[in-house]
Amino acid sequence: MSKNALSIVELIVVVVILGVLAALAIPRFSQGAVNPGEADLKTNLAVLRTAIEMYYHDHGAYPAQKPADTVAAEAGTAAAFIRQLTQHTNANGYASPVPSDTFCYGPYLQNGVPPCPVSAQRRSARVHLIAGDAVPAYDQTVAEAGWVCNYETGYIAANAPGEDTQGVRYDSY
């Protein structure tokens, strides 16, 4: 007579295989759950850096190097930086919410400045601008800002204290 059942040896082999798979998979899943903000930070930085470089290639200057208008968004201000990346711009960098033959560049960020998921003020999308030879890094005096950007070099970094799970500072990504 033939039976359609598992022998004890087959059952032990199945349990061992499942144990090995669990031993391999659980650490990988738990590593990702330690700080899911790290992956979001890398993604948001890539989006910002791409937008800044696209703006530079269209205008020959980084956002905020030139004014976004003649009144409220002067060169070197966060208002100019944000408007130039989130609105349509002309060749001089002036911004307009409405596209036209003159305002034919951008917007480079369709949904606004993405938030910094690991900033001191969690999920802050504010940008603090610096200039000269300064390298963007965490600045606790402007903790309300999620990002620090040198508008003369186009380099942007997270305004966030601490390190990721690999010991890399967030502001050095």
- Predicted local distance difference test score (pLDDT) of residue 19: 85
**What's the angle, vertex CA 165, arms to CA 154 and CA 115, rounded to 5?**
40
- Predicted local distance difference test score (pLDDT) of residue 17: 86
Confidence of residue 72 (pLDDT cuts 50, 70, 90): confident
119-154 confidence digits (pLDDT tens): 877 789 999 999 999 999 999 999 899 999 999 999
Share the mean pLDDT of the chain. Answer: 89
Q: What residue spans define the domains of the chain?
A: 36-172
pTM: predicted TM-score of the whole model, two decimal places:
0.79
Report how far apart, in Å, the C-alpha atoms of 147 and of each of 83, 114, 121, 131, 143 are. 16, 10, 11, 14, 9
DSSP state of 171: G
Task: Average the pLDDT over each of 4-13, 59-68, 81-90 and give the range with the smallest value.
Answer: 4-13
Confidence of residue 10 (pLDDT cuts 50, 70, 90): confident
Side-chain-facing half-sphere of 163: CA atoms under 13 Å: 5
